[in-house]
Structure 1
Amino acid sequence: MARPEQPMIPPSFFSGSPNLGEVDAKIQVFKHQINLIQGEIRRLEEYKNTRLLTVSKLPPEVLSMIFESLAFSVPHDSYSIRYAYGHLLPATQVCRPWRQVALESPRIWGYIFGFASPRIVELFLERAKSAPLYLLAPIYYTNEKTLLAVLNHLDRLKEINLSCKPEWVKRIISEPTPQLEVITLKMASRSSSDALQFPADAFPALRHLSLTDYTLQTPTASLINLRTLMIKSHRYGGKLSGTDTVDLFTMLNDLSLLSSLTLIHTLAPLHGPVPPLSVNLPSLTHLSIQDDDISNLGMVSCIVAPLIKTIQLIHSGQADVEIATPVIAAIYSKLPNVPHSHSAFMLHATQYSDSHAHVRMWAGRTTQERESDTAFFDLKVFGTGDLQTEGAVLTLCPSNDIPPVLHLHSDVESFNDDSLDTQRERILRRLKDVTVLHSHRLIDITLVLCDTPAKRRQARSLPSLKTIILNGSRGIKYKQRVLTRLMKQLEARRALGTGVETWQLRPNQLSPSDIEQFEDIIDIQVVEAEVSAFKEDRYY
């Protein structure tokens, strides 16, 4: 049994009615004892940290690598970057040996964030010695004194990530930067764009270039070693003046080491046929173009890229069928012939401006793999609401070894307001190999099957359809009417020998009594997970 702790001040001290001086003297004695105890605690903690803990046995070079990881592992968003040094500095102060390793590791002090005070920057520059520097200021409230202090060491900079004013960019390109490998520049003001022209041979080590709200007008010689290029323009009150399409792609023709190219609202409008041009990019593996003008997406047909792995093309305007159809055909004509490929089609058939078609293709993937894997080809095009352009996107797509999967969404609220019925049927008749249909709404299933009337007994579209998957959990308007029509359509298909075999539902989409109506017509399976290659298009 533990003995009760005895008070450090005996009762007799207070019974003697001590005066003020005696009490103060006793307080000083205890403070001295506290200092001694704290000193002993620090000695014990230092012994534990340096002798007993596993991390204390890490070699200095490994510990230095950990510190460097902490210095650069901060997400570059405006919230997290404010706490950039919140991990590194405490780690270097755990114990005296750790601090010594940190002070003897110049590389960890080379990561300088734009929000830092001039005093911190001066300290980091001193500790970095001659190590490479990384200037990370991707947010707008950069300390200008900090920025200028770092730019005085351009010859040591290895990366610049900067949301900046034009005059800062002029300072960056004013003198040689022999070590600079990564440049990420964002225009601080999004109301206008600025032409960026690097002098020849200014960045001999440059590998990665990312520009936001800058147009690129520069000699190819300054980009000859480039591996990745991203150019993006925001649109506020209209599109910013873009880079001339032919000029840019002609310049790219000399970048033999370029492996990744991303152009987002970058190019000046073509509004017509794709110009005759041949661009050889022998190292290109990833290509992404997003543009209002579908002709600019068609520039992919001018690119010779034998190592290409992924192509993403997003049309964000509205495409007239007369211009869009030959462009789409040209894009498809340049697709590599990949064996064992699979495609998924999305038709968003509405009467408004968000009507679009979306095609994805996977190569050599099982069903499970392609649900999570990045498609090697991804094309999304907005039409004009009459489904003619959307139909071209889907029906001109090259055939694959595996039948395509179809995802359909409409804005039809009742059977009487389907003004796109005829054009949609024309598209579906061309997609005769589709075996799986995904829909978020029950009425859309009936719209697909509506050209199988019970009286005429003649299936006219999607004759190969075997599986229907109802995703989502929206309420059903005119529920019984829709279910009655669907049952007649499924019966008609079965009578013609083209019956749908499986209907997958999510829980609570239909009641048990609703499901009972179909038990003799189709195999209904209730599944938990949604299976969709177009998860980002789930809600409209």
Structure 2
Amino acid sequence: MSFFPPSIPHIACPMDSIEQLQVDEELRKIDEEENWLHRRRSELRQERNAASPVSKLPNECLSMIFDLASKEEHARSKENRGIMRDRPTFRTTSTVVSQVSNHWRAVALTTPRLWSSIFLIIGRSRPRQKNYIEGLLEHVRRAKAAPIDMELSSGLFYRPGEYPLPELSSLELEIVSDLLPACRSLKVCLPPREASYSVLARLLIQDMPQLEELSLSGDAHSQAWTISMPLCSERLRSIELRYVQLHPVTLSQLAQVSSLRMNHSSIVTTKSERKPEQLDALKKTWQTNLMDERQSLLSLQVLQGATNLRHLTLQYVFVATPPEDLATLTFTRLDSLELAAGIQLST
């Protein structure tokens, strides 16, 4: 197809100044009409929404509804043990309700509990990592002083010697380290590789005075990992261990535990209480402790000291009893007991 440029007589002559002003004035009027239509549409939508019964609820009731929906989402997350899955970093309830309307957004932003749940895979590659970090920090700011519910894993599948960590991954670690003392619930999935596991294991050597729920999951097909017990107060109510050896644990930390679930795991007790000022030195001297064989042991003393147990689950766990002790346990508050797959006493 041939193209012939227009000849000079076909090219329109430029408008004179008067005609240009007329065109500009016409465009201005059209813009004003368009803006008025947008405003009017927004007003009509607000009038329609105002007639909805939910719009007449007090902000406190609306906040409670949002919180209940958020708790239900958190409960579903706890039931799913596959922590390494394609999930958003933050709880979706808070994001969804804050996008419905200006009113809902204002209520959501003044409800810190909605922003207190974080799911994080440290080192996972993201297309816009810097934007993600900014979003994470904003999410933390909105949580304010609310206790944090955190699920944590690592995407740093480096081999030994592939250090230092990427700059943004180091920033993630700093953010998580600052959040851990405020954790109410902590669920950690330990990666199979040693270097990546070491990053998380050191991170858990923390003082967590608000911790109530602790869940640690190792890899069923890798060698067994040893995890240092976080320094936590008597608020601890629930412990769940899968393919992990937890140490050192004091009996005082177990005194108020009402739920203990163990699968191919061990708890190693100690008589000496650690102090917060000892944690920095412990982080520096901590080394990866890799067991050649899984030692799924639980001291009878632990069960005898956990007097508030209501739920006990032991799977593939050996209860160690010294020869001078009687293998007798009395649970005055126990509601559920599950002993599965080869539990036995060993001296």
> Same fold per TM (> 0.5)?
yes
| AA matched with 2:206 | S
TM-score where L is the length of structure 2? 0.65
8 Å CA contact 1:46–1:95 kept in 2: the answer is no
1:205 corresponds, among 221, 224, 235, to 235
CA shift in 2, pair 1:162/1:148, >3 Å: farther
Does the 8 A contact of 1:70 with 1:88 survive in 2?
A: no
Residue 173 of structure 1: CA displacement? 3.3
For the pair 1:250 / 2:301, whether they are aligned, the reply is yes
Match of 2:52 in 1: 53
**Alignment pair present for 1:193 and 2:224:** yes
- Measured against aligned partners, the alpha-carbon deviations of 1:292-335 in whole angstroms (never above 9, x if no partner) come to x4xx2579xxxxxxxxxxxxxxxxxxxxxxxxxxxxxxxxxxxx
Whole-angstrom CA distance in 1 between matches of 2:147 and 2:241: 22
- Contact 1:166–1:187 under 8 Å retained in 2: no
Residue correspondences, number: 264
Say whether residues 1:103 and 2:109 are aligned partners: yes
CA deviation string 1:148-207 (max 9, x = no partner): 4132133321111121334423432332x12111111122684121234537x7332110
Once the two structures are TM-superposed, the CA of residue 253 in structure 1 deviates from its matched residue by 0.8
Cα distance in structure 1, aligned partners of 2:339 and 2:113:
37
Q: Which runs of 5+ in 1 are unaligned?
A: 1-18, 300-540
Could you report, residue by residue, the CA deviation over 1:420-478 in whole angstroms, capped at 9, with x for unpaired residues? Answer: xxxxxxxxxxxxxxxxxxxxxxxxxxxxxxxxxxxxxxxxxxxxxxxxxxxxxxxxxxx
Question: C-alpha offsets along residues 8-28 of structure 1, whole Å, 9 cap, x if unaligned?
Answer: xxxxxxxxxxx9978897676
Look up the equivalent residue of 2:216 and give its one-letter code.
Answer: L
Q: Distance in 2 between matches of 1:94 and 1:268?
A: 53
Q: Could you list the per-position Cα deviations for residues 396-415 of structure 1 after superposition, in whole angstroms to 9, with x for gaps in the alignment?
A: xxxxxxxxxxxxxxxxxxxx
Cα drift, residue 214 of structure 1 = 0.6
Q: Is the 8 A contact 1:212 1:232 kept in 2?
A: yes
Structure 2 counterparts to residues 446-485 of structure 1, below 5 A: none
Match of 1:82 among 88, 95, 98: 88
Distance in 1 of aligned mates of 2:218 and 2:57: 43
Letter in 2 for 1:221: S
Residues in 1 aligned to 2:62 and 2:198: alpha-carbon distance in whole angstroms: 40
CA 1:194 to 1:123, structure 2 compared with 1: closer, same or farther past 3 Å? same
Aligned to 2:274: none
1:178-327 aligned at under 5 Å gives the runs: 178-187=209-218, 190-198=221-229, 202-217=232-247, 218-233=249-264, 240-245=293-298, 247=299, 249-267=300-318, 277-291=327-341, 293=342, 296-297=343-344
| Alpha-carbon shift at residue 111 of structure 1 (Å) | 1.3
Flag the 1:44–1:188 CA change in 2: closer, same or farther, 3 A.
Answer: farther
Is the 1:215–1:266 contact (alpha carbons within 8 Å) kept by the matching residues of 2?
Answer: no
1:83 positional shift = 7.7
Distance 2:221 2:305 in 1: 30
Q: Helix, strand or coil for the counterpart of 2:104?
A: helix
CA distance in 2 between counterparts of 1:181 and 1:83 reads 22
Separation (CA, whole Å) in 1 of partners of 2:226 and 2:89:
33
* Letter of the structure 2 residue corresponding to residue 157 of structure 1: C
Distance 2:116 2:97 in 1: 16
Equivalents in 2 of 1:29, 1:189: separation in Å?
70
| 2:319–2:345 Cα contact (<8 Å) kept | no
**Comparing 92-101 and 69-78, the one that deviates more:** 69-78
User: How far is 1:208 from its partner?
Assistant: 0.7
Identity %: 22
Matched, 1:133 2:139: no
Tell me, in whole angstroms, the C-alpha distance in 2 between the residues paired with 1:197 and 1:113. 22
Residues 496-530 of structure 1 deviation map (CA, whole Å, 9 limit, x = unaligned): xxxxxxxxxxxxxxxxxxxxxxxxxxxxxxxxxxx
Residue equivalent to 2:284 = none
SS in 2 for 1:256: coil
Larger radius of gyration: 1
Amino acid at match of 2:242: T
Pairwise CA distance, 1:286: 1.2
Q: Residues 220 and 254 of structure 1 are in contact (CA less than 8 Å); yes or no, is this contact kept in structure 2?
A: yes
Give, in whole Å, the separation in 2 of the partners of 1:29 and 1:187.
67
In structure 2, the gaps of 5 or more residues are: 1-14, 123-131, 157-167, 191-196, 266-291
Aligned to 2:178: 152
Q: Secondary structure at the match of 1:160?
A: strand
Within 2, Cα distance between the matches of 1:267 and 1:118? Answer: 44
